[in-house]
């Protein structure tokens, strides 16, 4: 194939049985299970095992996995010390990429990946996966305290993954409803076929790079505003609009100037992102539970979506997962610059499922190019130029 397709649009990069999308019908499956069913019935821990192993776990398997995650929540003091010396004004995604990449120095073992039978070392793959998933949430929560000049909050063994993250992040006992909303948010963001950050995983994994470096590369890809950073941009946009009555003028002006409406449109969906539908429903439940006492920007968001559907639906542009997630995080007291780190926490499950899948049938990525440069020419010495 010699045709160049910008962004590799529609070009298959791998074979996978982890997730699938029906963009026309707005359906997302994890291992064949619709995302709506997982969001309603599952937990992040269970969904993670589903993504990793390809099946729903038994009760004992899930309990064992939970205990493994709990046992790996503690972060070495060397890592904490390094975090305390990072600039507090740096973006949390820059911190996360730096710290995750450094973990390979504290938790060695990836030398087994250089062996011919590397793909068969399932114990190493599983144990490393547990270490990364368990610690990535703790690192994000610790940073919120460290960057503000305080010692981090220690993890608790009696809390679920989502509950412990909120506890470590806020230092307070998590509200059960907020903890459940966070759990669902993690499920919704855990996997989404071969997106930019997951492709980064495949490319790096194919070289047999250590898994901490693989995940760090994915974090770097996720940090961009055209990928995971969009939910922060959505909140900034809604704050700029201010009130629902200004939504129409704002959207029309942006469209006239050919500017992005953050949180609108997705390359894979020609209808509303099913994850956005679930998040909007959570926001409605949250508002009802609080008797309507909720961030007024939610009404601004709904007004923007109505205007965008009127202007953009005919082009197949609807709200995506980023449109409502930031609002929910803001209601939990999470600063906007930490939204994308939560995305990374959740997506670590999908990244590591793809890392494992790539190793099982590995071949290093080496795409080609379409050369558009100069033809062969002779070198001219500097005195004759």
Instruction: Using a pLDDT cut of 90, give the percent of the chain over it.
Output: 71
Which pLDDT tens digit goes with each residue over 289-308? 877 777 888 889 999 999 99
Cα 46 from Cα 61, distance rounded (Å):
9
Which pLDDT tens digit goes with each residue over 185-211? 999 999 999 999 999 999 999 999 999
Burial of 379 (0-12, 13-18, 19+ CB in 10 A): exposed
Catalytic residue among 189, 192, 322, 354: 322
Lowest-pLDDT range, 47-51, 135-139, 174-178, 330-334? Answer: 330-334
pLDDT at 358 over 80: yes
Please name the residues in contact with 303: beta carbons below 8 A apart, sequence gap of 6 or more: 244, 245, 247, 248
Please name the residues in contact with 329: beta carbons below 8 A apart, sequence gap of 6 or more: 185, 231, 336, 338, 339, 342
Among residues 306, 324, 65, the alpha carbon closest in space to that of 181 is found at 324
Cα 55 from Cα 49, distance rounded (Å):
8
Residue 160 dihedral angles phi and psi, to the nearest 5°: -70, 175
Active site residue 337: no
Catalytic residue among 183, 189, 192, 266: 266
Active site residue 53: no
Question: Residues 341, 140: contact at Cβ < 8 Å?
Answer: yes
pLDDT at 118 over 60: no
Burial of 311 (0-12, 13-18, 19+ CB in 10 A): middle
Predicted local confidence at residue 90, as pLDDT: 95
Which pLDDT tens digit goes with each residue over 20-32? 999 899 999 999 9
Among residues 170, 232, 222, 234, the alpha carbon closest in space to that of 346 is found at 222
Whole-prediction pTM: 0.92
Question: Residues 319, 263: contact at Cβ < 8 Å?
Answer: yes
Among residues 311, 374, 341, the alpha carbon closest in space to that of 143 is found at 341
Cα 308 from Cα 303, distance rounded (Å):
9
Cα 316 from Cα 272, distance rounded (Å):
8
Question: Residues 136, 124: contact at Cβ < 8 Å?
Answer: no
Cα 313 from Cα 306, distance rounded (Å):
10
> For the chain, how far is it from start to end, CA to CA, in angstroms?
39
The radius of gyration of the chain's CA atoms, rounded to the nearest angstrom, is: 22
Delineate the domains of the chain, giving CATH numbers in brackets: 15-225+341-360 (1.10.580.10), 230-331 (1.10.230.10)
Residue 74 dihedral angles phi and psi, to the nearest 5°: -75, 135
Predicted local confidence at residue 116, as pLDDT: 54
Predicted local confidence at residue 219, as pLDDT: 97
**Which one has a higher pLDDT value, 27 or 1?**
27
């Amino acid at each position: 194939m010699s045709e160049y397709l910008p962004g590799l649009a529609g070009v298959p990069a791998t074979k996978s049985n982890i997730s699938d999308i029906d963009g026309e019908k707005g359906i997302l499956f994890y291992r064949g299970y619709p995302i709506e069913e997982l969001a309603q019935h599952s937990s992040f821990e269970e969904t993670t095992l589903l993504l990793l192993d390809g099946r729903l776990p038994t009760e004992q398997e899930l309990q064992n996995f939970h205990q493994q995650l709990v046992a790996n929540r503690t972060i070495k003091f060397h890592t904490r010390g390094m975090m305390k010396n990072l600039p507090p004004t740096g973006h949390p995604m820059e911190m996360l990429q730096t710290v995750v990449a450094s973990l390979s120095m504290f938790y060695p073992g990836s030398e087994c990946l250089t062996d011919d039978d590397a793909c068969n070392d399932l114990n190493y793959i599983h144990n490393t996966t547990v270490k990364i998933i368990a610690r990535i949430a703790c690192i994000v929560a610790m940073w919120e305290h460290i960057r503000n000049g305080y010692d981090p909050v220690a993890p608790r063994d009696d809390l679920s993954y989502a509950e412990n993250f909120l506890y470590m992040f806020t230092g307070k006992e998590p509200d059960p409803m907020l903890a459940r909303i966070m759990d669902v948010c993690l499920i919704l963001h855990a996997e989404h076929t071969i997106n930019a950050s997951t492709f980064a995983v495949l490319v790096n994994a194919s070289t047999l790079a250590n898994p901490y470096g693989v995940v760090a590369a994915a974090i770097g890809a996720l940090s961009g505003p055209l990928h995971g950073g969009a939910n922060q941009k959505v909140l900034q946009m809604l704050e700029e609009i201010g009130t629902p009555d200004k939504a129409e003028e704002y959207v029309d002006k942006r469209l006239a100037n050919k500017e992005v409406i953050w949180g609108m449109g997705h390359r894979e969906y020609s209808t509303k992102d099913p994850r956005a539908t679930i998040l909007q429903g959570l926001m409605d439940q949250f508002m009802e539970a609080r008797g309507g006492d909720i961030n007024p920007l939610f009404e601004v968001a709904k007004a923007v979506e109505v205007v965008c559907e009127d202007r953009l639906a005919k082009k197949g542009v609807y709200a995506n997962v980023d449109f409502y997630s930031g609002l929910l995080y803001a209601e939990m007291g999470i600063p906007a610059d930490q939204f994308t780190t939560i995305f990374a926490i959740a997506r670590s499950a999908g990244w590591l499922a793809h890392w494992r899948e790539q190793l099982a049938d590995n071949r290093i990525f080496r795409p080609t190019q379409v050369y558009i440069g100069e033809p062969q020419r002779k070198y001219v010495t500097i005195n004759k130029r």
